[in-house]
Structure 1
Amino acid sequence: MAHALLQLFESPMLVVAIFVFGIGGNFQYGFQVSVLNSPSSYIKQFVNETCQSRYDTPLESWKLSLIWSFIVSIFSIGGLIGSLSIGPFTIKYGRKKCLWLNNLVAIAAAVMMWLSRTAASFEMIMIGRFLYGINAGVSLNIHTMYIAECAPKRLRGIVGVTASSFVSTGKFFGQLIGLEQILGKEEMWPMLLAFSGLTALIQMVTLPFFPESPRYLLIDRGDRAKCEEAVRKLWRKVDHVSEIEEMLGEHAAIKGVKSRSTLELICDKTMRWQLLTVMVTFVTLQLCGINAIYLYSFDVFRAAGIPHENMRYVVLGTGLSEVVTNLACIMVIESTGRRVLMYRNYLCMSLVLGLLTIALFLQKIISWMPYCSMVLVFTFIFFFSSGPAGVTAPLPGEIFNQSFKPAAFGIACGLNWIGLFIIGMVFPFIVEYLGYFCFLFFLGFCFFTGVFVWFNVPETKNRTVLEITEEFRKMHTKTKDKVVETLDGIESQITIKDTKL
């Protein structure tokens, strides 16, 4: 653990790159997920007042709810479009240039948000949210891909986890500056919604000082000289000769093979288990129950006696605990391994969800049970942030070779956005009809994914893509070989009996 961190800090340019790509990358997604919670009442009031000034009549409550849900969910639609459309551009123009251009989208969205109240147009908020969605969809894809490709093999786990760390940091920062003492006041909400333009501008100004992804330069462009220059700039003291040799091995293995489309990836039988792994893990990332936990945390804390005026600060504590735990994942990932962190934590999460269901059921019967519920809420966040949240994001970059990687990230991020949209639209009805028993629904997803990873996914720590691909092949031909051996044995016994007869 300490050795891996020391190795990371021996490459200061890589450390700065992690921050620069993160602040305009996954940070944007996390920030936009949480930032609307604080000013929601002010925005609804603005929508109602705008409609009343236009049509001389206030909105009915169901119409206001419909407009608000559209403002929230259009972010997911933009994200889906951004994540599915970026693949070909990352191949043609490179990771860095696409991310630089993507900042223009965030800045345009920020301008829309800033001027929406002045222009008396809630439609500008919708357009801004849609543009933020496109920006976040592109950022989730490229940021994770770039960081995974820039890290040397022995630091790939630590560097990969930082992608999810910036998601958690973005969520926490959205909660923090949404406090009434900062930008959560009624007159400040346009500035709060425009904040992402500032982080996009920071990344836009600093990106030109960083090289393109070394793997992209060598494997996609075939430019070894620029690859070596980028590696020396990013890694500094880390021995890069063996790493480049491994890249050359992958380049030779896929030589003459163009980057594959999403359809080609889906139809390729040799990549079936890798694709299934991405689909299962990314769907469960949204359907594991983390959103339900955050929703029920208000009720749990209220039942535990937390005053209403302090509730926002306690919920802010849940966001902070996610950030801290995610950083703890950086400390242990290289020693523990990705596979163990994923299956172990998913199985622990399913156990916590079962216990939380029981605790919520008994909350009104046993006086001290709300405190158990509080502990279980923070325990669930701990297992989620120290495992699936950190390991899942960089997974496509570790288990797919360069020709499949853009399509794999596109599918992964697309599933993430579809899951977020479904949760936004369906989750309120699940809670309404099932109450705290909704956790049993999420428990099923956690348990299934934990078992799936345990039996079907190999460890990726300190392994090249070619080695991981071979490990997948061995794991999933083992069963077939056993069946063939059994059939051969039965056939030979029958032959022996026939001979004796």
Structure 2
Amino acid sequence: MGEKMTSTFLGGLIICVLAGSFQYGWNVSNVNGPAGFIKEKLYPNLCVDKCLSDADSLEETNPLYGKQCNSTVLEDESCTVEEYTGFVKNQENQFSTAVSMFTVGGMAGSFSTTFMVTRFGRKGAQFVNCFASFIGGAFYVAAYYLSSHYCLLLARLAVGYFAGLATGICPMYVIEISTADFRGKAGVLPQLFITIGILTAQILAFPSILGKASLWGWFMALGSIPCIVWILYSPKMVESPRYTLIEKNNSEQAQEDLQKLRGVEDVSGELAELEEEAAKLKEMLSFKWQLMIVCIAQMGQQLSGINAIFFYTNDIFKAAGFSVETSTMISALVGLENVGMTFVSLAVIEKFGRTGLHVGGNVLMVIFCLGMFLCLKYLTAASFVPYLSIVCILGYIVGFALGPGPVPWIWNSEYFPQRARGPAGSVSCALNWTAAFVVGKFFPIGTVSFI
């Protein structure tokens, strides 16, 4: 084990997933906490403005924060309930469009994976990708100061492109620099850091930290900080030896990089394995079933509705009758559980196998998703039902984090030989992002009636 855990190896793993996967998670969740502030600033509800007296604060009376303007007030102020409902629906539609632009950018980033990892290498592609993150951060800040819906759209598009490309690069890089018996654990790391990014955004969105109307632009832009760490640390990282040997035909550099990764001089055995893999590239066409499996797994990961949980957690819990403050705290609990269960997956993945965790996790998700639906449908049937909805969401996260979260990303890299990984990753990741777009765009339609 000692020869695997060199500083070059550990640094490469951690910095890669921090700068890539962490940001994916951050940008999935960072719209949830400040959603009310964003809607208030970029898509103001004129009926809500009429409900406010000079002494009222927007956070106390805005229905986005849990206290409805009643129909009597609306009519007294020459704003009908129908007009108010129309404003809410329009607000939700514009906001969901901005949220879903993240997935549009993700599709574009996924489709560019093959070109980027072939042209620049795994390490080089992530270096270039960092600039998409910086552009997205700049547009987040501009959206706040300019009160511009279009800047928010561009920000979500840019960070989405970054995330789409990162989801192709990071699993590929961490698995390719790992030894065969460590690849399962290494393959879970991207998903682990996605969950850490989600949790970090949820915690920092607390009103006592950065969850303030005056800070949401800077708060959302904080996701770009890990890219600064990547750029500063990248000179100490090595390129994937598989890429260097098989795609660049540079055996000397591949040997040197392997020696740094393993901490030993004799890496001839591993080099021989890489050369044997290169000799089998002509068999690429026989991998159609593997491609079908990973595509179905990637689409299923998103069509399960997992991103609806992280895009709109607060809305879901408000629909269940909880206050904004309580909803924010429960959201953080969900994020914390997601991180914890990914550690469990990391520990047991070699024991139970990829397929076992994936199937078992999906079964749990179906059970708890059905329970969540029933809880929201019969919310007023008993006083304990809202709390039962929390249990269902927590159980749903357990199922996702065990298998459907990490396993598809591992399959993306393990099922294909070297030069097939880029094209296969592009196709499967693009389908993942397409499914995420559908969920992110159309899920709020079902939640408007709860607000």
Asked if TM exceeds 0.5, the reply is: yes
Is residue 112 from structure 1 mapped to residue 128 from structure 2 by the alignment?
no
Instruction: Quote the Cα distance in structure 2 between the aligned partners of 1:89 and 1:430.
Output: 38
Deviations 1:177-206 (A, max 9, x none): 122122211111121121122221111221
Is residue 423 from structure 1 mapped to residue 439 from structure 2 by the alignment?
yes
Map 1:458-497; keep pairs closer than 5 Å: none
Among 46, 57, 64, the residue aligned to 2:41: 46
Match of 1:137 in 2: 164
Instruction: Quote the Cα distance in structure 2 between the aligned partners of 1:296 and 1:174.
Output: 13
Alpha carbons 1:163, 1:394 under 8 Å: kept: no
Map 1:55-454; keep pairs closer than 5 Å: 61=87, 63-236=90-263, 240-254=267-281, 268=285, 270-291=286-307, 308-358=324-374, 364-429=380-445
Structure scoring higher RCO (CA < 8 A, sep ≥ 6) equals 2
Structure 2: tracts of 5 or more residues without a match: 47-83
TM-aligned CA deviation for residue 381 of structure 1: 1.0
Alpha carbons 1:34, 1:171 under 8 Å: kept: yes
Instruction: Quote the Cα distance in structure 2 between the aligned partners of 1:48 and 1:355.
Output: 34
Is residue 25 from structure 1 mapped to residue 24 from structure 2 by the alignment?
no
Alpha carbons 1:157, 1:334 under 8 Å: kept: yes
Q: How many residues align?
A: 412
Deviations 1:10-67 (A, max 9, x none): 333222212111121011111111101122222223224799xxxxxxx982554443
Alpha carbons 1:11, 1:237 under 8 Å: kept: no
Deviations 1:57-99 (A, max 9, x none): xx98255444323321222111111110231231122111111
Alpha carbons 1:300, 1:374 under 8 Å: kept: no
Given the two structures, how large is their TM-score scaled by the length of structure 1? 0.75
Match of 1:496 in 2: none
TM-aligned CA deviation for residue 414 of structure 1: 0.3
Alpha carbons 1:147, 1:159 under 8 Å: kept: yes
Secondary structure of 2:128's aligned partner: helix
Alpha carbons 2:32, 2:313 under 8 Å: kept: no
Instruction: Quote the Cα distance in structure 2 between the aligned partners of 1:223 and 1:232.
Output: 15
Instruction: Quote the Cα distance in structure 2 between the aligned partners of 1:20 and 1:382.
Output: 26
* CA RMSD, 1 decimal: 3.1
Instruction: Quote the Cα distance in structure 1 between the aligned partners of 2:308 and 2:143.
Output: 32
Deviations 1:308-334 (A, max 9, x none): 533211221001100111112111112
Structure 1: tracts of 5 or more residues without a match: 1-5, 52-58, 258-264, 436-501
Secondary structure of 1:231's aligned partner: helix
Point out the more displaced range, 363-372 or 160-169.
Answer: 363-372
TM-aligned CA deviation for residue 288 of structure 1: 1.7
Q: Identity over the aligned pairs, expressed in percent? A: 28
TM-aligned CA deviation for residue 103 of structure 1: 0.8
Q: Residue type matched to 1:15 in 2?
A: L
TM-aligned CA deviation for residue 428 of structure 1: 3.3
Given the two structures, how large is their TM-score scaled by the length of structure 2? 0.82
Match of 2:29 in 1: 34
